[in-house]
């Protein structure tokens, strides 16, 4: 059930080796001012060259199936490869933090309309998804594969139970999370979203609605944290009792809030009635971006994060909420496809930023043991904390 996740643009490196050619992220990150450390993703974790070492490490952590030799697992995983349309639409065409970096903010981009383009891009991504699903189902029925869409959803908690703040949380959650989930499970955008966005939101034709509805066999979910919402549009990590919603992490948007994860999972199950696959979940330890190897591998903060989130998930499973998969982000410290570059360390494996040498963190062993204890997952023995080189 549990896996560790990676992504090609973030780990491969060697962007021009063997005739590959540049990706959109290679071009974007090479501009020099797009990441906190000014570095591009040309190195990643050097996995293009060190893939044998990475596979060996993943096996030592409990990597449980044989890639393309396992039809049931690989079909489901590969269909999640091109994932998270709201990330691409919003961060790439509204905020301008992701490739291609379009935004109304002219300090970030000379082109773009943040109020219009995200909805056009999101709409087109949804139709591309639906068309691809139809091709798969029509042309490869003998595979009997499950295919679907992954959305990024953080829970929006009302600051208090006043009508204004409850409406604020609902508005935020609808725009950020239901925008792209509703069409594939219900066949259209949420009515509240139509009210908020107005004529900037494209409309589906009846034929497009029919193509979209049911175009996902499961609900794929990337989730990291929860925030309070109040006063129409604002968010905060401090509750009305003056307490923080969760401990401070290495990034402001990954505070551990396992109760928010539990609320989100139950909400999505009750709304869509679909199997849920948690496809990304993880944290950065406080100060981790500046830690040397010896300190970084002692990642108790990450262990506490995973423990809280897995416990929340396990409790819902015991109540028959159909959560089918949990994928921890990430296998290794890599190039984060955000403005953070190499400074956001999500991995359960430490990667030396100069040499690329790998060292398992304490959380790598914890995940295997804890998932086996909570879920009965079969994993390999946890790795030692020895230093790994190529």
Domains and CATH numbers, the chain: 2-375 (3.20.20.80)
CA distance 131 to 313: 32
Tokens of 22: 């540049």
Write the CB contacts of 141 (distance below 8 Å, at least 6 apart in sequence): none
Q: Give the per-residue pLDDT at 381.
A: 37
Residue 238's DSSP bridge partners are 244
CA distance 305 to 46: 27
2 as an active site residue: the answer is no
Residue 235's DSSP bridge partners are 229
73 as an active site residue: the answer is yes
Of 36, 53, 73, 170, the catalytic one is 73
Reported as a single tens digit per residue, the pLDDT across 215-273 is 999 999 999 999 999 987 789 999 999 999 999 999 988 999 999 999 999 999 999 99
Q: Give the per-residue pLDDT at 52.
A: 82
Q: Give the per-residue pLDDT at 87.
A: 56
Q: Give the per-residue pLDDT at 257.
A: 98
Tokens of 229: 């919402």
CA distance 347 to 297: 10
Of 2, 117, 208, 280, the catalytic one is 280
Q: Give the per-residue pLDDT at 47.
A: 77
**Which regions of the chain are under pLDDT 50?**
2, 4, 68, 78-84, 378-390
Burial call 45-63: b when 16+ CB within 10 Å, e when fewer: bbbbebeebbeebbebbbb
Contact 180, 122 (CB under 8 A): yes
DSSP 215-279: --SSEEEE---EEEEETTTEEESB-TTS-BSS---SSGGG---HHHHHHHHHHHHHHH---EEEE
Give 231's Cβ-side CA count (13 Å radius).
4
Whole-model pTM?
0.77
Q: Give the per-residue pLDDT at 112.
A: 76
Place of tokens 């494996």: 349
Torsion, Cα 188 190 192 193, to 10 degrees, reads -70
């Amino acid at each position: 059930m549990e896996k560790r996740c990676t992504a090609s643009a973030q780990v491969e490196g060697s962007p021009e080796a063997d005739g590959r050619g540049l990706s959109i992220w290679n071009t974007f990150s090479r501009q020099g001012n797009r990441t906190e450390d000014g570095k591009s993703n040309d190195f990643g974790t050097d996995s293009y060259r060190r893939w044998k070492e990475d596979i060996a490490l993943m096996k030592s952590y409990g990597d449980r199936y044989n890639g393309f030799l396992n039809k049931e697992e690989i079909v489901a995983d590969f269909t999640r490869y091109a994932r998270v349309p709201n990330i691409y639409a919003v961060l790439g065409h509204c905020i301008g933090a992701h490739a291609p970096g379009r935004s109304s903010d002219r300090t970030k981009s000379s082109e773009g309309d943040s109020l219009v383009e995200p909805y056009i891009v999101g709409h087109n991504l949804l139709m591309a998804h639906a068309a691809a699903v139809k091709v798969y189902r029509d042309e490869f029925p003998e595979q009997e594969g499950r295919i679907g869409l992954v959305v990024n959803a953080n829970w929006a908690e009302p600051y208090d139970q006043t009508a204004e703040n409850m409406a604020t949380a609902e508005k935020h959650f609808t725009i950020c999370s239901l925008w792209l989930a509703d069409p594939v499970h219900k066949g259209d955008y949420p009515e509240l979203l139509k009210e908020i966005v107005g004529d900037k939101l494209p409309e589906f034709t009846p034929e497009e609605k029919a193509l979209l509805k049911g175009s996902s066999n499961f609900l794929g979910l990337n989730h990291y944290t929860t925030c309070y919402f109040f006063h129409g549009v604002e968010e905060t990590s401090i509750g009305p009792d003056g307490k923080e919603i969760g401990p401070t992490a290495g990034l402001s948007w990954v505070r551990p809030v396992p109760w928010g994860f539990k609320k989100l999972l139950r909400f999505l199950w009750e709304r869509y009635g679909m199997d849920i696959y948690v496809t990304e979940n993880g944290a950065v330890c406080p100060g981790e971006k500046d830690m040397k190897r010896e300190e970084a591998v002692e990642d108790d903060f990450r262990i506490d994060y995973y423990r809280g989130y897995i416990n929340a998930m396990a409790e819902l499973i015991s109540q028959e909420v159909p959560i089918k998969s949990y994928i921890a982000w990430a296998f290794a410290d890599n190039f984060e496809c955000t403005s953070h570059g190499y400074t956001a360390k999500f991995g359960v494996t430490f990667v030396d930023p100069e040499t690329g040498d790998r060292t398992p963190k304490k959380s790598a062993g914890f995940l295997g043991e804890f998932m086996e204890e909570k879920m009965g997952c079969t994993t390999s023995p946890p790795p030692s904390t020895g230093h790994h080189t190529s």
